[in-house]
Chains A and B, each alone.
Chain A
Amino acid sequence: MAENEQVIRTENLTKIYQMGEILVHALHGVSFTVERGEVLAIMGPSGSGKSTLMNMIGCLDIPTSGDYFLEGELISSLDDDELALVRNRKIGFVFQKFNLLPRATALANVELPLRYAGIDGERKMLAQKALESVGLGDRIYHQPNELSGGQQQRVAIARALVNEPAIILADEPTGNLDSQSGEEIMRLLLELNKTQGTTLLIVTHDPDVASVAERIIHLRDGEIENEEIRQ
């Protein structure tokens, strides 16, 4: 694959929700591209449509109109099971609230995407490797309640990495962490971007978090307000 290949390309993404009687235009003709290995932040105040955009990019929802290509594949026309497959193979999610299974070990949590991918034999080995890469090789049998917030988010990152996705989608990854753990998590994400070349999309309203990105897209009222390119 070429170095400057486009991983994400959206054309006029529009999402309209019906809320009771009124129609809400959450996204209004959003077009942008992301190249492989890029670190991109999406910023905007609440209600700007960044969650909706993240859901589209994460293949959790499909646009009302407009096209979304992920690694050249047109996502907007897929059915539920095909979307599930794309999420499983190409997207790694990191959530603000970690979203780990509470009664499962770190290892079992990281194994989850591999299970849905139907990987059986080397599942444990791959999950263990992912946990080692986030520095939790010695805690694979701990349950989430035995880990600190930062450690829990590391497990979530390992889970996002384990299927070697095209993009990692981090939604306020430091929102539930103290500032020191938050910095560590950001360092880890950037390091993974450098060493493994994973494309990183960060959705945040925190300028400090966004400042690590090479490019920042500012959203307002469902439209791109401006694009800020750094260094």
Chain B
Amino acid sequence: MNLLMNLKEALQSLNANKLRSFLTILGIVIGVASVIALLSIGESAGASITGEIESIGTNVIYILSGNSFDEVTNPKDLTLLDAEALANTRRAPNIAYVAPVISGGSEVSYAGEGLESPILGITPDYQFVQNLTLSEGEFITQTQVEGRSAVVVLGPELAEKLLGRRSGILGNTIRIGSYPFRIVGVTEAKGGSAFNNPDRNIYIPISTAQTRLPHGDSPNSVQYILVSVDKAEEADNAVQQITDVLRSTHRITPRSPNDFTILNQQDFLAVASSITNVLTIFLGGIGAISLLVGGIGIMNIMLVSVTERTREIGLRKALGARKKDILLQFLTESVLLSMFGGILGIGLGWMISFIVSRIAIQYGTPLAINVTPNSILLATLFSAAVGIFFGYYPANRAASLAPVEALRYE
């Protein structure tokens, strides 16, 4: 028996029961499609999160209050005084800029139209830490911080949403809560995503935020402090200096753990990749379950087919077919079934990921879908394996039929 004849015969037999064959492979189609779609969506979601984190830049360090790894007794908030201490070039020579941030949400309105938005209370150095440039006007100045001025710098997307345009809006007044703020600047569009988009930010002087936004317990406390270094290689030194400075300002005794957390890009990436890994495994698992269900469907139909063709099997044995000839014949059919299912599933999965990426773009999150050759290879091999695994039992049953009884079967 050569392989080609075997394939041809299996095709003929599947072709004779077109509807049944199609329904049988549907389970595999759906299984493979979901594996392909879920893996590619998971992968590209991961890639887009990673991309965002990378866009933070390697030379920005986040300092958050609290420590989620060790038990801290009597933790202290981060304060403006901490920020001042970090800005001291003698104590922390590797730090370029320090930007304490008070963030809070509030209703923002213009001409009666309002929306809920996060608001950042910042100092002038925030512009340099985040590399912001302005398309018009100026960023918050030191004078405005000292004077607690009611001024605001808008991200372009937010300006568009609130005022209907991105330029020519300087001097207009918007309301944050019930307080009027004068627009003094609009930042240049930077791009970003739903997760972190500077184009949707609202910046006000940190001193103004202290009085106008609800925040921590002490009047000087801030939510987080951003620190930048000139070169990425200096980051490790900077982290050490930040630790030393903050432990001294927070009066932490030598054996006690930090009551703050320092995160740089590497740390964020590690967290994000562990999240996306879990996501990918989870989604892949769902797909694998549907493949399993599809495989059972194939086994079921092949068992029916063996019963239906008992006489044919008997005849073939009478004509000289050995056990392995019959085994191969039925295995070929089930592998062909699952391979067809796999191929259709790859196409369908591709389509689903394409549609999902379109929808994501509609909602402003660019999600580059890439169906990798790896996932195609995986799906093909896996579906063939499903065919062999679930086809073996029925095929073996066919091959083990006694010729006399098979021939006599009605």
- A residues near B (Cβ < 8 Å) are 55, 58, 60-61, 80-81, 84-85, 87-89, 93, 95, 99, 101, 103-104, 112-113, 115-118, 120, 159, 163
Residue in B12, B311, B315, B317 with the greatest tally of chain A CB atoms within 10 Å: B315
Q: Are A113 and B319 in contact (CB under 8 A)?
A: yes
- Complex Cα distance A138/B264, Å? 84
Is B1 in contact with chain A by the CB < 8 A criterion? yes
Docked-complex contact A88 and B13, CB < 8 angstroms: no
B322 interface residue per 8 A CB criterion: yes
Interface flag for B312 (CB, 8 Å): yes
- In the assembled complex, the Cα of A210 lies from the Cα of B316 at a distance in Å of 28
Q: For chain B, residues 1 to 49, give those with C-beta under 8 angstroms from any C-beta of chain A.
A: 1-2, 5, 12-13, 16
Is A87 a contact of B2 with CB atoms below 8 Å? Answer: no
Q: Are B16 and A159 in contact (CB under 8 A)?
A: no
Q: How far is the CA of A89 from the CA of B16 in the complex (A)?
A: 31
Q: Which residues of B contact A60 (CB under 8 A)?
A: 317-318, 403-404, 407
Contacting pair A80 B323 (CB below 8 A)? yes
B404 with A61: CB separation less than 8 A: yes
Interface residues of B (CB under 8 A from A): 1-2, 5, 12-13, 16, 311-312, 315-323, 325, 402-404, 407
Which secondary structure dominates chain B's binding surface? helix
Within the complex, what minimum Cβ distance (angstroms) separates B311 from chain A? Answer: 7
| Alpha-carbon gap, A72 to B18, bound state (A) | 49
A116 touches B319 (CB 8 A): yes
Residues of A within 8 A of B321 (CB): 84, 116
By CB atoms of chain A within 10 A, which of B12, B312, B318, B403 has the most?
A: B318
Taking CB atoms, residues of chain B closer than 8 Å to A95 are 315, 407
Q: Specify which chain B residues have a CB less than 8 angstroms from the CB of A87 in the assembled complex.
A: 317-320
Contact between A99 and B315, CB atoms less than 8 A apart:
yes
In the bound assembly, the distance between CA atoms of A118 and B1 in angstroms comes to 6
Contact indicator A159/B312 (Cβ below 8 Å): no
The chain B residue sitting closest to A58, CB to CB, is: B318
> Which B residues are in CB contact (< 8 Å) with A159?
319
A–B Cβ pairs within 8 angstroms, 17 of them: A55-B404, A60-B404, A61-B402, A81-B323, A84-B317, A88-B319, A93-B319, A95-B407, A99-B311, A99-B407, A103-B16, A104-B12, A115-B5, A116-B1, A116-B319, A116-B322, A116-B325
**Cα separation A115 to B5 with both chains bound (whole Å):** 9
In the complex, chain B residues whose CB is within 8 Å of the CB of A61: 402-404
Nearest B residue to A160 via CB reads B319
Check if A101 sits within 8 Å of B312, measured CB to CB.
yes
Q: Which of B2, B12, B316, B402 has the most CB of A within 10 A?
A: B316
Q: Using A60-B407, A61-B404, A120-B2 as known contacts, say yes or no to A88 and B311 having CB atoms under 8 A apart.
A: no
Minimum CB–CB distance from B17 to chain A (whole Å) comes to 10
Smallest CB-CB separation from A100: which chain B residue? B315
A103 neighbours in B (Cβ, 8 Å): 12-13, 16
**Chain A residues in 8 Å Cβ range of B12:** 103-104
> A84 to B316, alpha carbons, bound, how many Å?
10
Q: Report how far A99 CA is from B315 CA in the complex, Å.
A: 7
CB distance from B314 to the nearest CB of A (A): 8
Cα(A145)–Cα(B311), bound, Å: 17
- Name the residue of chain B whose CB is nearest to the CB of A80: B323
Residue of A with least CB distance to B15: A103
Q: Which residue of B lies closest to A156 (CB)?
A: B315
A90 vs B323: C-alpha distance when bound (angstroms): 18
Residue on A with the closest CB to B16?
A103
Q: Of all chain A residues, which has the CB nearest B12?
A: A103
Contacts of B322 on A, CB cut-off 8 Å? 80-81, 84-85, 116
The 10 closest A-B pairs by CB, nearest first: A88-B320, A116-B320, A84-B322, A113-B319, A99-B315, A60-B403, A60-B404, A61-B404, A81-B322, A55-B404
7 new A-B pairs (CB below 8 Å) besides A58-B318, A99-B311, A120-B2?
A61-B403, A84-B317, A84-B323, A85-B322, A87-B319, A87-B320, A95-B315
A137 → B minimal CB distance (Å): 22
Question: Complex: how many Å from CA A120 to CA B13?
Answer: 22
Pick the most buried of A84, A99, A103, A112: most chain B CB atoms within 10 A of its CB.
Answer: A84
Q: Which of A80, A117, A163 neighbours the largest number of chain B CB atoms within 10 Å of its CB?
A: A80
Q: Which residues of A contact B13 (CB under 8 A)?
A: 103
Distance of A81 Cα from B325 Cα, bound (Å): 10
CA distance A84 to B326 in the complex (A): 12
**Interchain CA distance A84-B320 in the complex, whole Å:** 5
Chain B residue, CB-CB nearest to A51: B408
A163 to B319, CA, bound (A): 10
